[in-house]
Structure 1
């Protein structure tokens, strides 16, 4: 499996009052990884300006697994878990200093000026190739939801 990779470094302004990477910046880095995927799949800036189409996130599930400190080198590994004509399901894994620190699962829609649209053939082919290159069982936590605490908790 060869996931698509996005790299970044924790900036000083991303550190919270506890001395760790603040919650919204995990999502920012995951968003940049989605942009990396879009660029790779042919949905970059030029595509967006010429077609008016882009990916819209309609659902996200983030798991924060470990704290990340200042100046940490970050790597997001992205897998395409599946797609249909207009939807794309992504899995991001954020690694810092060789350790898995967070995951994000996304459901995205391909949207144009007048609503959802099918992926163009070239984009669809690239997404299918990415899905094939990272095929295998879905990650254990993919597709899971937050559970209710139950009565009395």
Structure 2
């Protein structure tokens, strides 16, 4: 299985453009959230699972890097890499790319990245719960190497 997946694609919506004429910072995070949802769906942690089990992944920590501006109408693709999964946690990262209009394929360098840690939570009990074996197996099967920027904090001024 590939260490990175492109599970989510989205066009930049007009209402996502800020007063500087490019994608507003909040919408980078929205797109990354949709990519996390796509990974959850692929791992079997979808809406049906959440309804049956009362469990879901909660993002408990995230680090976003805004690397380049994104223009109105751009086509985006998010590549996801699972960095690790244990009994209750998943560490993953997303890389956002602008796609070529004709092919729809990502081009150039990432325009933003997000690294996050998610915890599998039993919403009824209000605490962490073990991931289902199948989901954990799927996620660990996707585990790939961390890029050099993963695990960094905010740089000092």
Q: TM-score, normalised by structure 2?
A: 0.89
Structure 1 distance, partners of 2:79, 2:3, is 9
- Of 87, 90, 93, which residue of structure 1 is paired with 2:92? 90
1:39 CA drift (Å): 0.1
User: What is the Cα deviation at residue 84 of structure 1?
Assistant: 1.2
Do 2:64 and 2:114's aligned partners in 1 also have CA atoms closer than 8 Å? yes
Moved beyond 4 Å, runs of 4+: none
TM-score of the pair, normalised by structure 1: 0.91
1:20 aligned residue: 22
**Could you tell me which residue of structure 2 aligns to residue 40 of structure 1?**
42
Structure 1 gaps of 5+ residues are: none
Structure 2 stretches of 5 or more lacking a match? 100-106
Q: How large is the Cα RMSD of the aligned pairs?
A: 1.0
Q: Secondary structure at the match of 2:131?
A: coil
Matched ranges for 1:69-108 at <5 A: 69-97=71-99, 98-99=107-108, 100-108=110-118
| Aligned partners of 2:3 and 2:82 also within 8 Å | no
Deviation at 1:59, TM superposition (A): 0.4
The range that moved more, 93-102 or 50-59, is: 93-102
Report the alpha carbon displacement of residue 130 of structure 1 after superposing the two structures with TM.
1.6
Match of 2:139 among 127, 132, 140: 127
